[in-house]
Amino acid sequence: MNATDTTSTLKDPLEDFLGYQLRRAAFATLTPLVEAFAELGVNPTEAIALRFVRANPGCTQADIGRAIGVKRTNMVPVVTGLMAKGLLERTPADGRSNSLYLTKEGGELHRRITKVALEHEQFFFGDVTDPARQVLMQAFRALRAKGELWDARERAAGSESVKGRGVR
């Protein structure tokens, strides 16, 4: 066995764990998307926020945070950064919150983000049949729901273990 190439001789003790396979698949598919977004000058959370604002003009950062599973306090720097880049603008919605809208530049970047995301989706998932896609979507939504249940259970128990979680 060569000390630099052990992959062909190592037995993977995690091969039959669904969570492990899901993590590996997520890493393999998301890495190129993260890199493509970086070339556009945004990270995935910023790209998602722009897509949500485009789909929901006038939404608030709290609305977006709830939709994507990011705490409101963690959305503040995301929105502030997008505003500093001239991609979002805020207008007062009520006494405590602001409505978000894409600027012209934000709309142009949104178009490029969407193009990249669609190309990525097609490359990795274009050959997945509709029935298989429906099964996967159902399974992933169920897993997300279980994750939210886990988080709620941990919060009810007073645990600090859910701090620092990003997008689900």
Domain boundaries, the chain: 18-126, 127-157
pLDDT tens per residue across span 147-168: 989 988 988 888 554 455 554 4
pLDDT tens per residue across span 35-50: 999 999 999 999 999 9
Query: What's the pTM value of the predicted model, to 2 decimals?
Result: 0.81
Q: What's the pLDDT score for residue 158?
A: 82
Q: What's the pLDDT score for residue 162?
A: 47
Instruction: Return the axis-axis angle of helices 18-39 and 44-55, rounded to nearest 10°.
Output: 80
Contact between 69 and 109 under an 8 Å Cβ cutoff? The reply is no
Residues of the chain with pLDDT under 50: 1, 161-162, 167-168
Residue 32's SS3 state is helix
DSSP labels for 72-140? HHHHHHHHHHHHHTTSEEEEE-SSS-EEEEE-HHHHHHHHHHHHHHHHHHHHHHTTS-HHHHHHHHHHH
Q: What's the pLDDT score for residue 95?
A: 79
Place of tokens 């393999």: 28
CATH code for the part of the protein at 18-126: 1.10.10.10
